[in-house]
C-alpha cells in the first residue's frame, strides 16, 4: 500500500454539510495516516482475520486471498475519505474480493465465511481510535470523529459484503455446471468416505481407484497463482515420479490435488529440482497405498504435511509425509515444540544450517564419522571440527542426548524462522 504524496483539498468532492470544516480536515488527516500503516499492523490485521475461520486458517491460498482483499478494501475506504471526508463510501468489488469470492465458491464455503470482514472492521476501528486520539484531545471532536467513521465503516462493510455475496452466487451458478466442480465433488465424496458406486465414480473421473495411489497437494503461496504454471508443474511432477498421466483436481485457483498411480518410491531430490525455479510453489506428498482407502489415506497424509508447512511458515518447498510424520506430530502444539527445541539444543538452535545439517547427518549415520564425512563430501577433520563446535553450543553432552537432539534438529528444519545459512565456522 504505497501512497505517493499527501493530497490537497482539491481532491474533495461534495461533503456532508453537517460536518464542520475542522472535523472534515481531521478525517482527511486520519485517512492519510490510515493509508500508510506499518507492516506490523498489517500482519496483525491478517492474523486476526485469518484466525477467525479455521477453514481459512488451514488454507494458504484462501488466507492470502482474504489478506489481499482486506488490504485493498482498506485502501479504498481510506482513499474515499480523503476525497470526501465523512461521506458515503461505495462498496468495493475490485479484483481482490472477486478472486476471494471465486476461491470461496470453489472451496464450497458459503457467505458465512465473509464474517472475517467484521473482524477486520473491528481491528481497523481500533486503529482509527489510536489515530484520532493523536490528532485531537477535544472531547467533542473525538466523539464526532469516532461516530462518523464507525458508522461509515459499518455501512461500507455491509455494502461490500452484499456485493461479494451476489458475486459468489454468480460464481456458484457458473461453476456448478462445469466439469471442474463435478470432478472435485466426486473426489470429495470419496475423501469423505461417502457411500457411492465406485465403478460409476471411476467412469466419471476417468481414473481407476484400484491399484496404488500416492497423493500430493501442490499450491502457490500467491493467491492469484498462475493456473498454467500449476498445471505444467503437475505434468512435470508426474514425469519425475514415473506417472506420465497424473490425476489432478482443481481445488482452487492456486491449488491442485494430484494422485500418482502405481509408482515406485518417490525421490524427493528430483521433486525439489522440479520446483527450484518456481519459489512460490510448494508440494506436500503422501505415501503410496492401495485401493480406495489408499486414495483417501494418502491425501490425508499430504494434507497433514501441508498444514504443518503452513503452520510453521516453512520455507521448504517439498514435504514427503514419510519424512515429516514425526515432526508433524511433535509440532501440533507449536509452543511446546519450540520449548522442546530450545531446551534440547540451547544455543545450537541458532547455529548455521550447515553446522546443524552436519550434526544431523552424523547422528543419522549412527555417529560414524567416516561415513558422515563421506555423505557430506567433506574431509574427516572438517567433520570433527564441526562436531566439536556443535558440542560447545549444545547444553548437554551429545552422547547422552543423541535421540532428542536428532528429533529437535528434524523439527527445526521446518520452522521458517530458522532457515538460515549463517553462523558456520569450520
Same-domain check for residues 25 and 169: yes
Helices (H), 136-259: 139-175, 179-191, 198-205, 227-241
Q: Is 246 within the bounds of a domain? A: yes
Higher confidence at residue 350 or residue 171? 350
How far CA 4 is from CA of 7, 34, 58, 337, in Å, comes to 9, 14, 36, 44
Same-domain check for residues 350 and 294: no
At residue 223, the pLDDT reads 67
Angle between helices 95-106 and 139-175 (to 10 degrees): 50
Higher confidence at residue 170 or residue 258? 258
At residue 290, the pLDDT reads 95
Task: With beta carbons less than 8 A apart as the criterion, state whether 55 and 107 touch.
Answer: yes
C-alpha cell at 423: 553462523
Whether 51 has a pLDDT exceeding 90, the answer reads: no
Q: List the one residue out of 229, 253, 328, 275 whose CA is nearest residue 68.
A: 253
Domain boundary among 118, 153, 173: 173
Whether 166 has a pLDDT exceeding 90, the answer reads: no
Whether 10 has a pLDDT exceeding 50, the answer reads: no
Same-domain check for residues 240 and 370: no
What's 242's domain CATH number? 3.30.70.270
Q: List the one residue out of 54, 34, 77 whose CA is nearest residue 311.
A: 54
Q: Is 198 within the bounds of a domain? A: no
Whether 424 has a pLDDT exceeding 60, the answer reads: no
Q: List the one residue out of 250, 330, 331, 241 whose CA is nearest residue 286.
A: 241
User: If you write DSSP's letter for every residue of 150-179 in order, what string do you get?
Assistant: HHHHHHHHHHHHHHHHHHHHHHHHHHTTSH
Q: Is 306 within the bounds of a domain? A: yes
Range of the structural domain that residue 62 is part of: 21-173
At residue 170, the pLDDT reads 82
Q: How are beta strands 318-320 and 281-285 bridged, if at all?
A: parallel
Average pLDDT over every residue of 77-87 = 92
Beta bridge partners of 249: 257
Local confidence band at 423 (pLDDT 50, 70, 90 cut-offs): very low
Same-domain check for residues 65 and 166: yes
Average pLDDT over every residue of 46-61 = 82
Average pLDDT over every residue of 250-271 = 92
Average pLDDT over every residue of 256-282 = 93
Higher confidence at residue 211 or residue 114? 211
Average pLDDT over every residue of 94-119 = 82
Whether 415 has a pLDDT exceeding 90, the answer reads: no
Local confidence band at 177 (pLDDT 50, 70, 90 cut-offs): low
Phi, psi for residue 289 in degrees, rounded to 5? -150, 160
pLDDT tens for each residue of 360-398: 999 999 999 999 999 999 999 999 999 999 999 999 999
Neighbours of 275 (CB within 10 A): 18
At residue 25, the pLDDT reads 93
At residue 418, the pLDDT reads 55
Whether 12 has a pLDDT exceeding 80, the answer reads: no
Same-domain check for residues 325 and 408: no
At residue 57, the pLDDT reads 81
Query: What's the CA gap between 220 and 330, in Å, rounded?
Result: 26
Same-domain check for residues 41 and 132: yes
Same-domain check for residues 319 and 292: yes
Domain boundary among 156, 173, 190: 173
Could you identify the residue written with the cell 471526508?
Answer: 85
Average pLDDT over every residue of 92-121 = 83
Beta bridge partners of 284: 217, 319
Q: Is 193 within the bounds of a domain? A: no
Same-domain check for residues 315 and 361: no
Whether 14 has a pLDDT exceeding 60, the answer reads: no
At residue 50, the pLDDT reads 80
Query: What's the CA gap between 117 and 125, in Å, rounded?
Result: 12
Query: What's the CA gap between 424 and 6, in Å, rounded?
Result: 47
Mean pLDDT of the chain: 86
C-alpha cell at 54: 479455521
Beta bridge partners of 256: 218, 250
What's the predicted TM-score (pTM) here? 0.58
Whether 119 has a pLDDT exceeding 90, the answer reads: no
Q: What is the DSSP letter of 55?
A: H
Whether 9 has a pLDDT exceeding 60, the answer reads: no
Average pLDDT over every residue of 169-185 = 77
Count: domains in the chain: 3
pLDDT tens for each residue of 277-299: 899 999 999 999 999 999 999 99
Whether 59 has a pLDDT exceeding 90, the answer reads: no
Average pLDDT over every residue of 230-237 = 95
Phi, psi for residue 211 in degrees, rounded to 5? 75, -165
Local confidence band at 28 (pLDDT 50, 70, 90 cut-offs): very high
How much of the chain, in percent, has pLDDT values that exceed 90? 53
Same-domain check for residues 42 and 162: yes
Amino acid at each position: 500500500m504505497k501512497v505517493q504524496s499527501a493530497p490537497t483539498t482539491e481532491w474533495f468532492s461534495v461533503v456532508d454539510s453537517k460536518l464542520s470544516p475542522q472535523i472534515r480536515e481531521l478525517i482527511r488527516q486520519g485517512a492519510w495516516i490510515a493509508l500508510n500503516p506499518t507492516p506490523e499492523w498489517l500482519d496483525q490485521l491478517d492474523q486476526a482475520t485469518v484466525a477467525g475461520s479455521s477453514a481459512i486458517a488451514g488454507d494458504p491460498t484462501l488466507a492470502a486471498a482474504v489478506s489481499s482483499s482486506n488490504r485493498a478494501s482498506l485502501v479504498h475506504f481510506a482513499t474515499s475519505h480523503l476525497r470526501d471526508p465523512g461521506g458515503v463510501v461505495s462498496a468495493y468489488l475490485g479484483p481482490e474480493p472477486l478472486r476471494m469470492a471465486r476461491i470461496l465458491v470453489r472451496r464450497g464455503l458459503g457467505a458465512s465465511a465473509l464474517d472475517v470482514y467484521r473482524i477486520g472492521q473491528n481491528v481497523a476501528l481500533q486503529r482509527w481510535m489510536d489515530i484520532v486520539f493523536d490528532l485531537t484531545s477535544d472531547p467533542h471532536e473525538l466523539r464526532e470523529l469516532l461516530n462518523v467513521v464507525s458508522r461509515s465503516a459499518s455501512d461500507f462493510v455491509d455494502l461490500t459484503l452484499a456485493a461479494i455475496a451476489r458475486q459468489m452466487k454468480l460464481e456458484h451458478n457458473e461453476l456448478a455446471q462445469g466439469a471442474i466442480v463435478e470432478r472435485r465433488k466426486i473426489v470429495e465424496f470419496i475423501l469423505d468416505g461417502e457411500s457411492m458406486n465406485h465403478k460409476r465414480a471411476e467412469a466419471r473421473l476417468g481414473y481407476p481407484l484400484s491399484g496404488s495411489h500416492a497423493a500430493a497437494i501442490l499450491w502457490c503461496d500467491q493467491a492469484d497463482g498462475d493456473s498454467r504454471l500449476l498445471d505444467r508443474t503437475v505434468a512435470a511432477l508426474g514425469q519425475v515420479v514415473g506417472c506420465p498421466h497424473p490425476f489432478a483436481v482443481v481445488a482452487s485457483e492456486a491449488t491442485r490435488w494430484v494422485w500418482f498411480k502405481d509408482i515406485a518410491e518417490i525421490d524427493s531430490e528430483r521433486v525439489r529440482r522440479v520446483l527450484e525455479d518456481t519459489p512460490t510453489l510448494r508440494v506436500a506428498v503422501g505415501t503410496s497405498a492401495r485401493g480406495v482407502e489408499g486414495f483417501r489415506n494418502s491425501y490425508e497424509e499430504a494434507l497433514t504435511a501441508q498444514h504443518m508447512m503452513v503452520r510453521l511458515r516453512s520455507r521448504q518447498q517439498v514435504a514427503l509425509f514419510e519424512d515429516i510424520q514425526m515432526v508433524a506430530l511433535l509440532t501440533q502444539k507449536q509452543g511446546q515444540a519450540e520449548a522442546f527445541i530450545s531446551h534440547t539444543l540451547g544455543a545450537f538452535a541458532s547455529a548455521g544450517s550447515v553446522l546443524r545439517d552436519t550434526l544431523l547427518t552424523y547422528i543419522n549415520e549412527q555417529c560414524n564419522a567416516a561415513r558422515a564425512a563421506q555423505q557430506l563430501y567433506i574431509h574427516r577433520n572438517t567433520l570433527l571440527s564441526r562436531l566439536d563446535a556443535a558440542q560447545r553450543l549444545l547444553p548437554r553432552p551429545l552422547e547422552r542426548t543423541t535421540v532428542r537432539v536428532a528429533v529437535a534438529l528434524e523439527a527445526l528444519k521446518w520452522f521458517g524462522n530458522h532457515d538460515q545459512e549463517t553462523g558456520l565456522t569450520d
